[in-house]
Structure 1
Amino acid sequence: MNDSATSPSPDNLDALVQEASRDFAAAAAPAELENAKARYLGKAGRITELLKGLAQAAPDQKKVMGALINEAKQRIEAALNARRQALADAELEQQLRAEALDVTLPGRGRGVGGLHPVTRAMERIEAIFGSMGFDVADGPEIESDWFNFTALNTPADHPARSMHDTFYVEGGHVLRTHTSPMQIRYAVQHVKRHRQLIDAGLPMPEIRVIAPGRTYRVDSDATHSPMFHQVEGLWVGENISFKDLKSVYIDFISAFFETTDLQVRFRPSYFPFTEPSAEIDMMFGSGPLKGRWLEVSGSGQVHPQVIRNMGLDPERYIGFAFGSGIDRLAMLRYGVGDLRLFFDGDLRFLSQFK
């Protein structure tokens, strides 16, 4: 063992502290600093060797020498910690410079959102019919066979019940193929509320409701989607005629497109829930669609069996119903040629409707 280990003097210890401080100061990275620490404070470090050498010192020297060595150790540890802090501060300063923000630049504001064009069309439809005294009904998108088909006089062998047209789910339920089930649900509840008036032969408040919402069919192309939107309308009372249907729908279509420069025609058709039935076509008098008949709705006088399924007497109550594709109305209003654009989620397309 060397003399500094067996008989360390204050001068030798001061020199050792200064040497350690210089090595620590020369360390440019935390790893280099830890290597320097090991040379002085590690298991085989110079301070550790000095402490081990106390075992060979005379008893009267151990206390004095031990105090000197511990003081030197504390000074070396203080120099080590100071250099650690200096390296950490330098690293933080470098990070802050790299991530510095120019607070004089204008802030990045959030983009302004907007309603989906189909939502805009739906709200417009609800507002127009609301001004005519129609309620708005909403209901389940998973329906029972009764409300979706049977109550609407759709026979068991009707093609609409085919797996090719309808999404079936467990328990005999379906994803509703139209929003007409809500007409039945609304009418049944309406009749229940006014049953005493009906049984007493007194006038029942008319049923006047629209049912907008999502519907589902197995179909997909430029003008059809497996998920689409419909609005079904129903007006039932004691003296509601086909003339009322024509008047209401023409007023609606004129208000929706904000023009009277259009023609509307009713073509005879067939639907199991109306009799007689009609397809509704329209033709603009100007614009890119001028001169083209476009189908916009199915309609008709409510079938007597459907009136019975509502809990009413078809000899006393009569009414009309219609069903329009909200997506198609939106396509015509905004000049969109492909239905799928509404559901692709492309912000470049959707931002046009803000």
Structure 2
Amino acid sequence: MRDLNDDALGLSDQILVWYDEHARALPWRVSPSDRASGVTPDPYRIWLSEVMLQQTTVAAVKDYFHRFTHRWPTVQDLASAEDGDVMGEWAGLGYYARARNLLKCARVVTDEYAGVFPTTHDGLLKLPGIGPYTAAAISSIAYDLPETVLDGNVERVMARLYNIDAPLPGAKPQLKTLAAALTPDRRPGDYAQAVMDLGATICSPKSPACGICPWRDPCLARSAGKAAELPKKTPKKPKPTRRGHVYLAQASNGEWLLERRPDKGLLGGMLGWPGSEWSEAPEPTPPFAANWRDLGGEVRHTFTHFHLILQVMVTELPPHHSPADGHLRIAANDFRPSDLPTVMRKAFDLWHGQ
């Protein structure tokens, strides 16, 4: 393996030259030319984008980011938002604990830090929902501190640049050490974004475009003809399958019966249809006694740790039915399918398609 100190400065300079010409235009990013002229990134926008980008692609995040920053331009605006409004805007983006932590963090920054994000890595780690990666990304990109930013793109670039055969996730500490050795004191924020851009646009998971890579000559995996094989990953265990029921009830005046899910757990704090537990053999648990009928077809959805199959049951909501605790009658004019998480919207789409 190449000595970590051999040419770190040269490699950093090479990719910064490449980044100055090829940086992606992203709605939360300050371009390298603007940054050189003295424009500084908004920590609120960097934080918001990094939380949204966890386990999600740039393409999926852009529209959400535009909507959030249009509706809540500052961290103080977000802190004063209604929980249900934020959860509704987040619907469809997945990993809903992020949205709950988003609100908690915004309120802590507003109430305890006068609306100003901490300027150190350790200070950022004290905020709700901010772990080592997010703290490093904010420190580097927003405050131009030489923190080591290691996302999936950077892991892939490091594994190929140094020809690391050890599989992920076990190789993470080694890859972080390599990434840290390359992180420069000059323009560390631009450098972090440059490596992420390199992984996203050139050093892609499949068919990397080695011929136009600024690091093609020093890349050990390219020299060995192994670039497309790396990084290796430890095989994942098969995901189990769980089943459940959801109950869609609509009144003659268009009202729907929904529930606000508990804050903790999957889809926490989100609107959804009343339903059974999710297990291998769930018992039907309709929200009230009625002539429920099977809509036919199934809703299938995959979460991080399991596959889910839902049976959709429907009936007419009685005009004067009083919802049980946790259930809500939502007027037709107030109901927006887009406020539902994806799995619940799939159930609505199945009903709507009948």
More helix by share: 1
Query: Computing the radius of gyration over CA atoms, which structure comes out larger, 1 or 2?
Result: 1
TM-score, with structure 1 as normaliser: 0.20
More strand by share: 1
Structure with greater contact order relative to length (CA < 8 Å, sep ≥ 6): 2
TM-score, with structure 2 as normaliser: 0.20
